[in-house]
Amino acid sequence: MQLHFVRVQFTLPMEDIQFNFMVNIFASERLKEIYPRIKKFVEQELYPIEMELLHMPFNKAAIILQEKRVKAKQQGLWAPYLAEADGGLGLSMIEFAQLSELLATTPFGHYTLNCQAPDIGNIELMHKHASPVLKEKYLHPLMKGEIRSCFSMTEPGYAGSNPVSMGTTAILEGGEYIINGHKWFTTAADGARFAIVMANTNSNGSPYERASMIIVPTDTKGFHLKRNISVMGEAGEGYLSHGEIVYTNCRVPASNVIGNEGAGFLLAQERLGPGRIHHCMRWIGICERAFQLMCTRAINRDMGDGTNLAQKQTIQNWIAESRAEINAARYMVLHAAHKIDAEGSKAARNEISAIKFFVADILMKVLDRAIQTHGALGLTDDTLLSYWYRHERGARIYDGPDEVHKSSLARSILKEYGVKK
């Protein structure tokens, strides 16, 4: 395909982009081999077209990205987190964390290598808990990148922060579940082949055993994508959208349940643990890119009085604070990744809660400082900053709002002091 490059005046010259997030003490031999290859791929294939892609509707960008996905596969870079037997690179969490940062320095890095949310979380979940038939039909094409998926749990009428309360029901009748409910913020529902739906299969059961996770193909009669919700002025489309969905008498085979009936809440916790660390890794990559844009703007902005912005103490403070905060966030995330690798995500619950709110906060601060440093330009769509500002404000809300994680971490700590709840 012939690409027509839009000249974007204010972005960083490509030769100045020199990211290297590999931390020597955590760099395995495998990572040392794969890291430079993925770095080269991102630099050559994605940075040069990222602004152009952002300025076109996603479904058009997806055609170009499809070519990049094929290239990534050919170069052996596909889905690094998957086991080698599944076509991936078999990386540990701590290895993937460092690659994930790198991929996140450009908006479509994860998508191009098939490690994007929500698919990555659905893949991990189905890998562990789906039946062989469901794996064959849904998981395998998902791992190959032939289809996309979505995760449909949050509802407009119920507090998503406490997912045990929910209105959607799945009633078993004649070997089929009949699903009725209203969901929203189902990310990437538009164009997905199937949704993993959280629904009450036993509304009278204990709160933690009421719900199940059920696969609903999006072409099921009664599946209605009502709209892509406009978020901060942008409804988006395809992978870059958040759907509001009405399920009306959707019938699916009883065998579409993932794991046991009634295990939905448990599985959601299991899915969200690694999911949260995936977000944190990504946010650090975004921080690094925003940081680099901020520094570059500061040295290049002539203030008209013989100084440039980089000579102003406030800007220097932002640069120093951002550097320290990003470094702190990185080590916290790598530590959490190490604990997940060594002891599993349940044991790392506190570390995951801590990074979820800590890194989201740093992301907000760094993006805001970078925008402020750019002045009016920072608000425009001529740099990557406004895209990330729009898309990542949700970081403090999705997969558990800050307040919930802080409260859960504090309660866990206070338990050691004898406090019961």
Ligand X SMILES: Cc1cc2nc3c(=O)[nH]c(=O)nc-3n(C[C@H](O)[C@H](O)[C@H](O)COP(=O)(O)OP(=O)(O)OC[C@H]3O[C@@H](n4cnc5c(N)ncnc54)[C@H](O)[C@@H]3O)c2cc1C
The residue ranges that bind ligand X (CB under 6 A) are: 118, 151-154, 159-161, 185-187, 242, 394, 397-398, 401, 403-404, 407
With contact defined as beta carbons under 8 Å apart, do 176 and 236 qualify?
no
Cα distances (angstroms) measured from residue 216 to each of 20, 149, 158, 162, 213: 41, 10, 21, 23, 10
Residue with tokens 């794991």: 259
What phi and psi, each to the nearest 5 degrees, are found at residue 363? Answer: -55, -45
- 318 burial type by CB count under 10 A (0-12 exposed, 13-18 middle, 19+ buried): buried
| Nearer to ligand X among residue 242 and residue 374 (C-beta) | 242
| Nearer to ligand X among residue 312 and residue 391 (C-beta) | 391
Question: Terminal CA-to-CA distance of the chain, rounded, Å?
Answer: 59
CB of 359 to ligand X, least distance (A): 16
CB of 402 to ligand X, least distance (A): 7
Residue type, 258: I
CB of 421 to ligand X, least distance (A): 13
**Residue showing the smallest CB distance to ligand X in the complex:** 160
Residues 21 and 330: their CA atoms lie apart, in Å, by 9
CB of 401 to ligand X, least distance (A): 4
275: number of CA atoms within 13 Å, CB side?
A: 20
CB of 403 to ligand X, least distance (A): 3
| Nearer to ligand X among residue 151 and residue 318 (C-beta) | 151
| Nearer to ligand X among residue 160 and residue 273 (C-beta) | 160
Residue with tokens 């997806």: 62
Six-digit token pair at 308? 């440039």
CB of 235 to ligand X, least distance (A): 13
CB of 410 to ligand X, least distance (A): 11
Q: Where are the beta strands (DSSP E) in 188-313?
A: 194-200, 211-217, 223-228, 242-253, 257-258
| Nearer to ligand X among residue 28 and residue 408 (C-beta) | 408
One-character DSSP codes across 115-145: --TTHHHHHHHHHHHS-HHHIIIIIHHHHTT
| Nearer to ligand X among residue 106 and residue 187 (C-beta) | 187
| Nearer to ligand X among residue 133 and residue 410 (C-beta) | 410
